Amino acid sequence: MKTKNLIIILLAFTVNVLFAQRDKEEGDPMFKSAYTKYENKDYSGAYLDYTTFLMKKPKDANATYNRGLCAYELKDYKDGITNFNKSIELGRKKADGYYSRGLCNYSLFNYELAIADFDTALTLKTNYTKALTYKGAALNELKKYKEALDILNQAVNSDPNYETAYYYRAITKYYLKDYQNGLDDCNKALAIKTYYETYFWRGLHYLNLKRYQESITDYDTVIAHDPKYAKAYYNRAISYYDLKNYEKALADNKKSLELDPTKPEAYYNRALDKYQLGKYKDAEPDFNAAIDLKLNNAKHYTQRGMNYYYQGKYSQAISDFNTAVLKDPKYEDAFYYRALTKYYLEDDKGVIEDCTSALAIKKSSDTYYQRGISKYNLKDYAGAIDDFNESLKIKPDYKLAILERGIAYYQTEKDALALADLNKAIELNPKSSRAFYYRGKLKKYMNDLAGSCADLKQALSLGEELAGDEMTKNSCK
């Protein structure tokens, strides 16, 4: 069975570091106290001291600016903007004031405003690396990846040792599907500074380059740093899935959902893990959850339909395939798997219709084979042979197609062709009871009674019960 798994495109998870130059006023003890507390990362204490200082000197632009820095570090971005605005109004026109306000806007998801601030900073300070970098990051968030790439190239050129510029450029290249160069940027960033978010993105580049074990190693690093990072478990699960290590994929998707139970893709992927492990009943609630959470395109309904199919819930399977076809009339898998379900419902005409629809979208050896089987069942042996021929053009070593074509040749009395196919089928699968059975029947008509009896005896030993009746008819000993 063919399955599909979903790789999620993640929004950039950013950690903004201000890096702005603060003005220091040596003369006032309160200003000096605030400055020292900020240096020691006591941002709340620094904020209070700057506030006390500003009660005496309310028009001090530098203290107002520095209080904005404290607000930023305390993640009170709106207050940060208020302070930076006031510092600018008070005459502080330095580039870092606009840059810092831009970071606050960026953190509040006001990306257009952030870009305007970074642009102003760049007019005051040409090739301001940090302003270029975060302008590129904001353009990423607006999905303007080509523009972002141009800006981040400028950032890297202005300071080749600034790790953050490589980090954001790696993210840009991920969205542009330039995974190899994105990987190179991650490596450059990590050579400058070891940062677990860079490992996260490098793992994603490895994943898309199908370097699954290296991706897993990077996500091991991320999870060791942050055991509650749901997206890291989710992405590592995809690598395990693609390596066919479904048990580990299942464990990671389970952990991902424990940490973030709102992610429909994680339910879907956990369902796929269970499906691959043959745990169809257990997979059903996860498929339901994914679809209930609006992960409900043709692929998702088709996969749930396949899960119903393997449980023998054919009416539910048909319903899901019907929905899939309505959602996407060009989704070949929905027609193919609906055809398989109709086959088990003994609706051979329906099988032929759905296989024909699937083949109009995509030529497939399996689909030709399945249509050939239903044509055979309807005694259209010539049509069946045509379909088996088409199947074998695509996949010359298709064992079942060779076997069933041989049987169809037998039914049309093309004995030499039938014998050649049945011989080949046995060569490819020496335990095919059906191949021995029909070759035994064929040899009788070719006047090889001993060969017929030997083949029928072998068929019976392999579990073909009808062979016993044929042996009796042939008076085989």
- Interior angle at CA 387, CA 381 and CA 391, nearest 5: 140
Q: Which two tokens stand for residue 411?
A: 């039914």
Query: What is the per-residue pLDDT for 5?
Result: 44
Query: What is the per-residue pLDDT for 21?
Result: 33
Indicate the CATH number of 16-125 among 1.10.10.10, 3.40.50.300, 1.25.40.10, 3.30.70.100: 1.25.40.10
Whether the Cβ atoms of residue 111 and residue 138 lie closer than 8 Å to each other? yes
| Residue 419 host element (H or E) | helix 415-428
Q: Helices 280-292 and 298-310 sit at what angle, rounded to 10 degrees?
A: 160
Whether the Cβ atoms of residue 271 and residue 283 lie closer than 8 Å to each other? yes
**Domain layout of the chain by residue ranges:** 16-125
Q: What is the pTM of this model?
A: 0.86
Query: What is the per-residue pLDDT for 18?
Result: 52
Nearest to 120 by CA among 95, 143, 156: 95
φ/ψ bin of 463: left (φ > 0), alpha (ψ from -120 to 50), beta (otherwise): left
The C-alpha atoms of residue 204 and residue 374 are separated, in whole angstroms, by 44
Residue owning tokens 């200003």: 31
What is the number of other CB atoms lying within 10 angstroms of the CB of residue 255?
Answer: 21
The one-digit pLDDT tens for each residue of the chain (477 residues) are: 333 344 443 333 344 455 433 555 557 899 999 999 999 999 999 999 999 999 999 999 999 999 999 999 999 999 999 999 999 999 888 899 999 999 999 999 999 999 999 999 999 999 999 999 999 999 999 999 999 999 999 999 999 999 999 999 999 999 999 999 999 999 999 999 999 999 999 999 999 999 999 999 999 999 999 999 999 999 999 999 999 999 999 999 999 999 999 999 999 999 999 999 999 999 999 999 999 999 999 999 999 999 999 999 999 999 999 999 999 999 999 999 999 999 999 999 999 999 999 999 999 999 999 999 999 999 999 999 999 999 999 999 999 999 999 999 999 999 999 999 999 999 999 999 999 999 999 999 999 999 999 999 999 999 999 999 999 988 898
Whether the Cβ atoms of residue 424 and residue 417 lie closer than 8 Å to each other? no
* DSSP letter assigned to residue 87: H
Burial class of residue 5, CB neighbours in 10 A (0-12, 13-18, 19+)? middle
Nearest to 243 by CA among 212, 269, 274: 212
Nearest to 41 by CA among 70, 83, 76, 78: 70
The C-alpha atoms of residue 249 and residue 243 are separated, in whole angstroms, by 9
